[in-house]
Structure 1
Amino acid sequence: MFKSIVLPVALLGAAACAVADEGQWQPHQLPQLTSELKRIGITMPAAKLADLTRHPMSAIVSLGGCSASFVSPDGLVVTNHHCAYGAIQRNSTPEKNYIINGFLAKTRVEELPGGPNTLVYVTEKVENVTDRVLKGLSPSMSGRERHELVESRIKTLVAECETDKSIRCSVPAFHRGLEYYRIKQLMIRDVRLVYAPSDRIGNFGGDIDNYEWPRQTGDYSFLRAYVGPDGRPADPSPNNVPYKSKDFLVVSAEGLKNGDPILLAGYPGRTSRYKLPSEIRFARDVDFPAKAASITADLSVIAAATQGNPAWDVRYASVAKSLNNVLKKTQGLMDGFARKDIAAIKDVQDAEFRAWHKQNGNGSRNLLGELDSVIAQDMAQSRQEAAWAEATHSDLLKSARTLYRLALERQKPDAQREAGYQERDLSFIKARLTRLEQSFVASVDEARYGAALARYARIDAKARPQGLDALLPAPNALGAMVKASELGDTAKRLAWIGKDPEAFRKSNDPFVQLAVRLHDTGMALENRRNELEGNLERVIPQYMTAVIAWKKSQGKPVYPDANSTLRVTYGTVAPYSPRDGLVKGPFTTVEGIVEKTTTRDPFIVPAALTEAVKQKRYGVFKDAALGTVPVNFLSSADTTGGNSGSAVMNKRGELVGLNFDSTYESITKDWYFDSAITRAIHVDIRYMLWVMKEVDHADNLLKEMTIKYPKK
């Protein structure tokens, strides 16, 4: 077998000859990027950026799916409009539609509850715990035995770290099991909506402009973190006070110009830069087309089922928005793979690596054969899991399955329960089950599930989980099942928490009965996945150790794939050429908004904005070179999903923008970083400040932030 010895830790930080602006770097790696940062003009010391307890990294926070940053000492958080969309929707009704009209709290008392799913995570500590996770693992273990032992050790590490309910810890894998880091975060659970512009600003262009350039979207919102009177996180209460953030970002209205350097800090979700050519072809030819077809069909069902009912439309607004975003990205990936044969590029790289490995593999001759075998098994398993997802595509059924699994897991000691069903997870389960009341209509769920079962029936029988067909309800039975179920009622849904498994087995609720009936098949699927994961976690780290050594021998950058942990990337404000004879960017302006405006969504603009543009009330936010207010700008920074809301900082670490999207041509960057066309899209902070002053009159927030204005 290939021996990693001391290679992983040493090489994961190696980037002496990094090229382009590629890389989503762990903060502790940044000192080894000093020459790169200086090259593009960053003046902040790299060592300072590596310290999570110092400015500016101590101001960067996670929202559990999006990124954000503190911008005042009183817990004021700025993020994207679409990241706060759930909180905006939660507080909206047809009569008080904050989605269309926007919302501004002029005083702290007026701030609205974000809801149980709106949380702020402040990263306090990151430590390498690889030895404690991997030490002494026997090569004779089955994949499932290995996976379960690793998971058990991770749960122990988490339990040691979580000293109270204010602390949330995790132990994610880097390079899929090559290294493990324990991450300690302060979890603030009273988060309130402070200000969101109308979605005719925050989502201008809607799904039509999503991933497109030029773009003119004011994708920003403000939240505030609250804690108990003692300064510690607490459950929502009128007695809570604003969190005194240790640090916050200074907002710079001085602006940027083409070629200026930027830093970007946030929590990117998932990338697949080290996938094999076979995995790319599977995604391109099988997984993504099926995913796009399923989401397209689901969106059509939602649209038809909610048509003509404004209240239902509001309830499913966030669901549809999320699905549309995933769909646009999936379609962009397919188009990107069609435009550039990334699999063929990877074929060349893979052949070069295998030739190098043949000479430098140190006895690991069977490694690549094992790798190819387990990857093939992984792809076959993924097809069955996709079929299972269609067969169980109902919010009522998902709730029933979660509740029954919780009842079963609670029969075990807490340390032996499946991750996600321990006592530490109970508040999150309750929050998900409660949140359903804002995004659920029984007849819509019935329509969605019926359509999903029809899609499942068209899947090749070989790709369906064995024995599942006979357990599923007939589509024409769904109406009676939905009518007879009490799980649509929030109080009755939550009342199932704490009941024992026997109560579920004796239940007359048809969706509870279905959940019980499906459980063994679902567990068989999960157990096969755990066996596979254990084998992947055994083989992939050996592969990655060899890949890292190969890349280092070429002087190429080495960084782990994104995994929702804090990362820093860098780049410059830059245009790009999507095709021959066309150059785009790097700025758009408020005049572009007026030019795009129509009388139909998503290109309707608030009259106050149009009036401010016509009167050219630009003030200090006017860019000297552009002669107007910039709205969005492009940079070459390396980003992905989860980077939404990430702070875009200038060379001094001051906030100059918010990341919110990528160009359509960039979507394949999750798999392959092409520096010529990869561009991230950011809200220019001057546009945000201008709207706050001239359109929404958010003077209270402008006074609260520390804003650095241009010198006269």
Structure 2
Amino acid sequence: MFKSIVLPVVLLGVATTAVADEGQWQPHQLPQLKSELKRIGITMPAEKLADLTRHPMSAMVSLGGCSASFVSPNGLVVTNHHCAYGAIQRNSTPEKNYIINGFLAKTRAEELPGGPNTLVYVTEKLENVTERVLKGLSPSMSGRERHELVESRIKALVAECETDKSVRCSVPAFHRGLEYYRIKQLMIRDVRLVYAPSDRIGNFGGDIDNYEWPRQTGDYSFLRAYVGPDGRPADPSPNNVPYKSKDFLVVSAEGLKNGDPILLAGYPGRTSRYKLPSEIRFARDVDFPAKVDSITADLSVISAATMGNPAWDVRYASVAKSLNNVLKKTQGLLDGFARKDIAAIKDVQDAEFRAWHKQHGANGPKNLLAELDTVIAQDMAQSRQEAAWLEATHSDLLRSARTLYRLALERQKPDAQRETGYQERDLSFIKARLTRLEQSFVPSVDEARYGAALARYARLDAKVRPQGLDALLPAPAALNAMVKSSELGDTAKRLAWIGKDPEAFRKSNDPFIQLAVRLHDTGMVLENRRSEIDGNLERVIPQYMSAVIAWKKSQGKPVYPDANSTLRVTYGTVAPYSPRDGLVKGPFTTVEGIVEKATSKDPFIVPAPLLEAIKQKRYGVFKDAALGTVPVNFLSSADTTGGNSGSAVMNKRGELVGLNFDSTYESITKDWYFDSEITRAIHVDIRYMLWLMKEVDGADNLLKEMTIKYPKK
């Protein structure tokens, strides 16, 4: 059972009247939003939604970067196609290309291993541990001392929680360090690929349509969670059995219409709603343009280096897909900042807050805002050096060598004193990353990428290049010989370095291990400086957030923490939008749009069975009465971000009606500022999924396994 949650006094009076559909709410906050949920037509009691042990919240799971939900009592999980892409790619070869051809296991024996990076996390327990993390911190501590003490307390809380390797615990910060919650999750390690449509369905439109509307993308896949015969998580084994989930979502094929309410639950990654104007300008003018340039150049190198080699193209498919997604989102943020001056909007809000704080903040710490501005400036300056470091070390071989050497150094310490990410609990993840490299690595491609990154680094202003780093880096001309003589490209030899002591690394002749050893001290200087800055941020930002919450509460505005990869609930309605004067988009697209976009070239190639089903209008019960055809995607006003991919979209009764997978291009800036007029999330309609499963891919076994409510005749 979940322990009761005691909120800080500052949050007890959170306003119950939200503005528009803004807010990524912690489940326990939902009873405060009863009037809002009732206003849009949600019939489920808010108290039920707040209880993580009851339907529907008990069916929600995390994939560690994406969201998902159980849809049968036998561990069947539905998520996005792009969230299962790693598992699809892992099992694909040029001869058996499941990316292009899709995959369906008609029996459980045919299900394919998802690989060590494919995990399912089931939240079991949540408790407020703010006092245990923050109690007794001295104002006289340096930033680094404070940060390290907080980290040590968090590690102790995690160690206390992780009684065996079946669970994974975390202690994330909320409201930028004002609160901390300990979250205990069952970690299922045997996850198998069950069904994925062709990429020409699951990624129809590709990067061209990414973040665009209208969309016609069937972005869904099915996985299955397996456990040992005793019902507990176990390493992958033929003896394992499907996980018996405590709850699962009923699927509703009854559909939605414009204006209908929806609930959305998942694990959104990161938002920056409470950033200062100076932080927005730094992102807009410095950080994001540099990121766009770097990713664009890297993708160009990958494309050139893999051209003409299908096997290499498959190996880097997932890498390129991820980079393209980040690129389009980052460029979308820049375009959004250009379209609407969010920094100027924040200037007005910041001025209003500072005026309010001057009048009402007398009981708070003196010089808070001056300190805040100082530490934010330090953070931005440090971020530029860290970005330069990433360019200077942009190699999978070097990244592996640095991880292995750091692991060797950390294992000289008691486990509790090791850096987070290098404790015994992290060893399986390190091994998984090092093993996963064999599916997404080609030596000559890594050489080309690193050479180009070093050239980009050399063009950076000397002021942002970490002191002393230039002299430690290899000449681009030396990379070919380094790659050829390194043994780290071999998975077995790479893994064999785990467990060796630091002296073995220092004596190694492997050029990438030598480089990792050479770079270590400079890297630690950066890391220690980051600890100092983070400690100061962790001291000042929570004080600022406490004041901001009090200010917003005085205005009756919603108060919710920025997204931080923990379970959140948002709500909204099916709704069109107007991106510019005279143009209205949405809220539904249909299968006819697929035919309209079809060409003979990727990413608009349509599988022949799908075209045939559309042309023959074999729509059956999945035909929408108003549209006269099968809906594919729909828009809602729900508040989402990265990490919400795969999130369950539910109707007013908590039944599954779709999956979240994207946002419109105009909505990308919602991570920084929520504009209710144009912010829209994009979802795949469950009716399109079910129709494809029945009429195109023949997934009758899965249709029978799920509990589906069909429209009344």
In 2, the alpha carbon distance for the partners of 1:236 and 1:8 equals: 42
**Quick check: 2:2–2:127 contact (8 Å CA) kept in 1?**
no
Q: Deviations over 1:366-386 (max 9, x none)?
A: 000000000000000000000
Shift of 1:7: 8.6
Cα gap change, 1:234/1:246 in structure 2, threshold over 3 Å: closer, same or farther?
same
Q: Deviations over 1:487-539 (max 9, x none)?
A: 00000000000000000000000000000000000000000000000000000
Cα gap change, 1:33/1:322 in structure 2, threshold over 3 Å: closer, same or farther?
same
**Quick check: 1:144–1:534 contact (8 Å CA) kept in 2?**
yes
Q: Deviations over 1:594-618 (max 9, x none)?
A: 1100000000011111111111100
Q: Deviations over 1:345-399 (max 9, x none)?
A: 0000000000000001125330000000000000000000000000000000000
Shift of 1:425: 0.2
**Quick check: 2:203–2:217 contact (8 Å CA) kept in 1?**
yes
In 1, the alpha carbon distance for the partners of 2:8 and 2:237 equals: 46
In 1, the alpha carbon distance for the partners of 2:6 and 2:426 equals: 36
In 2, the alpha carbon distance for the partners of 1:400 and 1:367 equals: 42
Shift of 1:11: 1.6
Q: Deviations over 1:252-273 (max 9, x none)?
A: 0000000000000000000000
Residues 47-446 of structure 1: pairs in structure 2 closer than 5 A = 47-361=47-361, 362-446=363-447
Cα gap change, 1:9/1:698 in structure 2, threshold over 3 Å: closer, same or farther?
farther
Cα gap change, 1:430/1:5 in structure 2, threshold over 3 Å: closer, same or farther?
closer
5+ unaligned residues in a row in structure 1: which ranges? none
Q: Deviations over 1:5-26 (max 9, x none)?
A: 9994542771312110000000
Q: Deviations over 1:103-156 (max 9, x none)?
A: 000000000000000000000111100000000000000000000000000000
Cα gap change, 1:191/1:363 in structure 2, threshold over 3 Å: closer, same or farther?
closer
**Quick check: 2:264–2:570 contact (8 Å CA) kept in 1?**
yes
Figure out how many residues of one structure are paired with residues of the other and give that number: 712
**Quick check: 1:265–1:647 contact (8 Å CA) kept in 2?**
yes
**Quick check: 2:101–2:199 contact (8 Å CA) kept in 1?**
yes
Cα gap change, 1:435/1:9 in structure 2, threshold over 3 Å: closer, same or farther?
farther
Q: Deviations over 1:171-196 (max 9, x none)?
A: 00001210000000000000000000
Question: 1:7 aligns to what SS in structure 2?
Answer: coil
**Quick check: 1:3–1:542 contact (8 Å CA) kept in 2?**
no
**Quick check: 1:284–1:334 contact (8 Å CA) kept in 2?**
yes
**Quick check: 2:10–2:546 contact (8 Å CA) kept in 1?**
no
Question: 2:704 aligns to what SS in structure 1?
Answer: helix
In 2, the alpha carbon distance for the partners of 1:583 and 1:125 equals: 44
**Quick check: 2:401–2:516 contact (8 Å CA) kept in 1?**
yes
**Quick check: 1:659–1:681 contact (8 Å CA) kept in 2?**
yes
Question: 1:224 aligns to what SS in structure 2?
Answer: strand
In 2, the alpha carbon distance for the partners of 1:478 and 1:490 equals: 20
In 1, the alpha carbon distance for the partners of 2:328 and 2:293 equals: 12
Q: Deviations over 1:9-66 (max 9, x none)?
A: 5427713121100000001111111111011000000000011110000000000000
Cα gap change, 1:418/1:12 in structure 2, threshold over 3 Å: closer, same or farther?
farther
Q: Deviations over 1:197-219 (max 9, x none)?
A: 00000000000000000000000
In 1, the alpha carbon distance for the partners of 2:711 and 2:371 equals: 60
In 2, the alpha carbon distance for the partners of 1:17 and 1:72 equals: 36
Question: 1:682 aligns to what SS in structure 2?
Answer: strand
**Quick check: 2:68–2:77 contact (8 Å CA) kept in 1?**
yes
**Quick check: 2:298–2:449 contact (8 Å CA) kept in 1?**
yes
Match of 2:576 in 1: 575
**Quick check: 2:258–2:575 contact (8 Å CA) kept in 1?**
yes
Question: 2:165 aligns to what SS in structure 1?
Answer: coil
In 2, the alpha carbon distance for the partners of 1:491 and 1:512 equals: 16
In 1, the alpha carbon distance for the partners of 2:427 and 2:489 equals: 20
In 2, the alpha carbon distance for the partners of 1:6 and 1:619 equals: 51
Question: 1:435 aligns to what SS in structure 2?
Answer: helix
**Quick check: 1:4–1:542 contact (8 Å CA) kept in 2?**
no
In 2, the alpha carbon distance for the partners of 1:405 and 1:277 equals: 37
Q: Deviations over 1:76-117 (max 9, x none)?
A: 000000000000000000000000000000000000000000
**Quick check: 1:632–1:683 contact (8 Å CA) kept in 2?**
yes
Name the TM-score, length of structure 1 as normaliser. 0.99
How many percent identity over aligned positions?
93
In 2, the alpha carbon distance for the partners of 1:258 and 1:7 equals: 37
In 1, the alpha carbon distance for the partners of 2:108 and 2:13 equals: 44
Question: 1:222 aligns to what SS in structure 2?
Answer: strand
In 2, the alpha carbon distance for the partners of 1:635 and 1:158 equals: 37
In 2, the alpha carbon distance for the partners of 1:498 and 1:536 equals: 35
Match of 1:475 in 2: 476
In 2, the alpha carbon distance for the partners of 1:13 and 1:626 equals: 44
**Quick check: 1:13–1:559 contact (8 Å CA) kept in 2?**
no
Q: Deviations over 1:218-250 (max 9, x none)?
A: 000000000000000000000000000000000
Q: Deviations over 1:685-712 (max 9, x none)?
A: 0000000000000000000000000000
Q: Which moved more, 1:134-143 or 1:355-364?
A: 355-364
In 2, the alpha carbon distance for the partners of 1:6 and 1:500 equals: 46
Question: 1:127 aligns to what SS in structure 2?
Answer: strand
**Quick check: 1:102–1:196 contact (8 Å CA) kept in 2?**
yes
In 1, the alpha carbon distance for the partners of 2:126 and 2:578 equals: 39
In 1, the alpha carbon distance for the partners of 2:96 and 2:84 equals: 17
**Quick check: 1:12–1:548 contact (8 Å CA) kept in 2?**
no
**Quick check: 1:358–1:365 contact (8 Å CA) kept in 2?**
no
In 2, the alpha carbon distance for the partners of 1:87 and 1:7 equals: 40
**Quick check: 1:112–1:194 contact (8 Å CA) kept in 2?**
yes
Q: CA RMSD in A?
A: 2.5
**Quick check: 2:3–2:126 contact (8 Å CA) kept in 1?**
no
Name the TM-score, length of structure 2 as normaliser. 0.99
**Quick check: 2:70–2:78 contact (8 Å CA) kept in 1?**
yes
In 2, the alpha carbon distance for the partners of 1:308 and 1:687 equals: 35
**Quick check: 1:253–1:686 contact (8 Å CA) kept in 2?**
yes
Cα gap change, 1:291/1:109 in structure 2, threshold over 3 Å: closer, same or farther?
same
In 1, the alpha carbon distance for the partners of 2:637 and 2:2 equals: 36
Question: 2:542 aligns to what SS in structure 1?
Answer: helix
In 2, the alpha carbon distance for the partners of 1:9 and 1:625 equals: 49
In 1, the alpha carbon distance for the partners of 2:145 and 2:492 equals: 39
**Quick check: 1:13–1:558 contact (8 Å CA) kept in 2?**
no
**Quick check: 1:12–1:560 contact (8 Å CA) kept in 2?**
no
Shift of 1:622: 0.3
**Quick check: 2:3–2:127 contact (8 Å CA) kept in 1?**
no
Question: 1:20 aligns to what SS in structure 2?
Answer: coil
Question: 1:561 aligns to what SS in structure 2?
Answer: coil
Question: 2:181 aligns to what SS in structure 1?
Answer: strand
In 2, the alpha carbon distance for the partners of 1:431 and 1:268 equals: 24
In 2, the alpha carbon distance for the partners of 1:5 and 1:609 equals: 50
Cα gap change, 1:271/1:567 in structure 2, threshold over 3 Å: closer, same or farther?
same
